[in-house]
Structure 1
């Protein structure tokens, strides 16, 4: 992958909200949390087959690729992806068939709960139970918390390395995913900002098959790795780079929310977005990444 041996991401079991905030959120340290999502009805009941039976006629937005063989190269990935609406049952049938290449169909940050609000009872809002102090006013909690996202994808699906502007909890409901993280301190090694990319929150490096001639600095980046199993949660601090490979047909939930650290990350993104505009590198459909759902 690169010159440095990956370090394992720390794991903790069923932490109190105060312990999590003091040792991980406030210090902006990633961590795998066990003993929390494993209790959710979603982990016990949800599966692709269950959604096909219960919500097969539901129309949902799916990420597609214009390429017959979707590439893990970030630039090719961003150039070729597009979105279309399709029947959820049909999408799941395609994924279960295994007849299409990884990356051809991927449900990303779907708001499936808008039409099926009963699903919200099957899990808890992690920003509210772990991330935001319970004593804060309800109106503040509401403003700081984004809606939960539903993710569904087959084995082999890859999310190219990027970072989020907000804090992120990612809960694995079914299946497994391999996560590779890099600290914001490694941004230089990941060639940030890559103003030639359509969105500045991505790195141009394919971290699974890096081009040493194009990106020699990447050899100095320190990866942190974990495989997330069903019932486990990964906290990804704002600004931490992450690359995701789906190992099995998976359902995940993610929860973004705002902190002072994430506001600072957003200010950095906006600065480079303005630079991109000033340099004339932003096309009519350019974006800073705010509307791009990435894991």
Structure 2
């Protein structure tokens, strides 16, 4: 059955929900079990606010705090006006003494036995902890819900959610739209929304380059893994082009402007990258893509159906508007909805040049040139 599940995942163009499918022992753990397992290990949490903000709560605008799991539990029980999120942490880099946790994680249930805890990331957050809406440009995503409930809002790749590369980080294209405290008028024309709430034991498959906004409805824990795809070679080439542009533009900018442009996890990499290094990355990614551009996903599509696997229906426009209204109404009066931060003019330039449509055009132009040069070389060799 695992091979059929794998084929289903790799051939699906839409998100899939696996209801009560995860049989890992982790699903039975309560918060006291996690506290006993983690003991006094300090975790780095991102700390945000449960209030209206005009823009999404980007990582740069939220605080951070080192705290043991015990303190995190106390925080969740006091119901404050904030949230804490230990998010996007690779298990290979944390919980180094927690072998019991890591041995539980195996993605063989989905046909990927080669993927383990070493390839997985963990997300631990309080109610209200969330990730701004974005696209992951590499791979596809399988998420296992371990504890609590987590809400996923998804849109197909073609939906215009006002993409931006600011804040910049590799492989993440963010949406300018704020789903946590929305300004309703900003969502005019947006549709094709899927909404699902994952409960412990559920899993979600997110196809390549689907938009998603994720929010904890309770104190929640989840584990996910990104499955590599042949398309990643092209995506890495395009990401290298964006990185090259961002690197050169930000070299001589003041620190405050750089903070607006870069996500914190990109500070060191972008700040230390020279022109030669950035160009070398572009050329290497271009070469790999040119050699692998004919690769396809190795699947054999079957028509099996499983009672525990469901597609997510598209919300009606009325239900989508109701979701937005419910999100907005949580924070009372929002008189400052029309207020906007003033950004340096360079921001508009960066957004224009790094827009996904522009980068795709540049990538195609360079790729076609590679193919043309190869054709000329092949022709010349044959004529000698």
- 1:283 correspondence with 2:258: yes
| Cα deviation, residue 278, structure 1 | 5.3
| Cα deviation, residue 31, structure 1 | 0.5
Residue 36 of structure 1 corresponds to 21
Residue 155 of structure 1 corresponds to 127
- 1:106 correspondence with 2:85: yes
Residue 244 of structure 1 corresponds to 214
Counterparts of 2:14 and 2:33 in 1: how far apart (Å)?
35
Work out which of the residue numbers 42, 63, 74 in structure 2 matches 1:93.
74
**Equivalent residue runs for 1:54-203 within 5 Å:** 54-65=37-48, 69=51, 71=53, 73-74=55-56, 76-98=57-79, 100-103=80-83, 105-110=84-89, 111=91, 112-124=94-106, 126=107, 128-132=108-112, 141=114, 147-164=119-136, 165-186=138-159, 189-192=160-163, 194-199=164-169, 201-203=173-175
Residue 207 of structure 1 corresponds to 179
Structure 1 unmatched runs, 5+? 1-15, 135-140
TM normalised by structure 1 equals 0.73
SS at match of 2:60: helix
SS at match of 1:106: strand
Structure 2 unmatched runs, 5+? 268-384
With over 3 angstroms needed to count, the CA separation of the structure-2 counterparts of 1:27 and 1:265, relative to structure 1, is farther
| Cα deviation, residue 290, structure 1 | 7.5
| Cα deviation, residue 60, structure 1 | 1.7
- 1:230 correspondence with 2:200: yes
SS at match of 2:176: coil
Contact 1:154 1:250 in 2 (8 A): yes
- Taking CA–CA contacts closer than 8 Å with sequence separation of 6 or more, which of the two structures ends up with the larger relative contact order? 1
| Cα deviation, residue 50, structure 1 | 1.9
- Post-superposition Cα deviations, 1:162-198, rounded to whole Å, max 9, x if no partner, equal 1222321111111111111111122xx1122x14434
TM normalised by structure 2 equals 0.58
Residue 377 of structure 2 corresponds to none
Work out which of the residue numbers 189, 205, 208 in structure 2 matches 1:219.
189
With over 3 angstroms needed to count, the CA separation of the structure-2 counterparts of 1:224 and 1:69, relative to structure 1, is closer
Work out which of the residue numbers 36, 41, 46 in structure 2 matches 1:53.
36
- Greater Cα radius of gyration, structure 1 or 2: 2
Contact 1:57 1:88 in 2 (8 A): yes
Counterparts of 1:175 and 1:208 in 2: how far apart (Å)?
19
With over 3 angstroms needed to count, the CA separation of the structure-2 counterparts of 1:222 and 1:288, relative to structure 1, is farther
Counterparts of 2:54 and 2:125 in 1: how far apart (Å)?
15
SS at match of 1:283: helix
Residue 138 of structure 1 corresponds to none
Counterparts of 1:289 and 1:267 in 2: how far apart (Å)?
20
Higher helix share: 2
RMSD value over aligned CA atoms? 3.2
Contact 1:28 1:237 in 2 (8 A): yes
SS at match of 1:205: coil
- Post-superposition Cα deviations, 1:6-36, rounded to whole Å, max 9, x if no partner, equal xxxxxxxxxx333233333233431011343
Counterparts of 1:72 and 1:175 in 2: how far apart (Å)?
28
| Cα deviation, residue 201, structure 1 | 1.8
With over 3 angstroms needed to count, the CA separation of the structure-2 counterparts of 1:27 and 1:181, relative to structure 1, is same
- 1:24 correspondence with 2:9: yes
Question: Hey, which bits of structure 1, 4+ residues long, moved more than 6 A?
Answer: 288-291
Counterparts of 2:78 and 2:264 in 1: how far apart (Å)?
36
With over 3 angstroms needed to count, the CA separation of the structure-2 counterparts of 1:50 and 1:241, relative to structure 1, is same
- 1:253 correspondence with 2:223: yes
Contact 1:145 1:257 in 2 (8 A): no
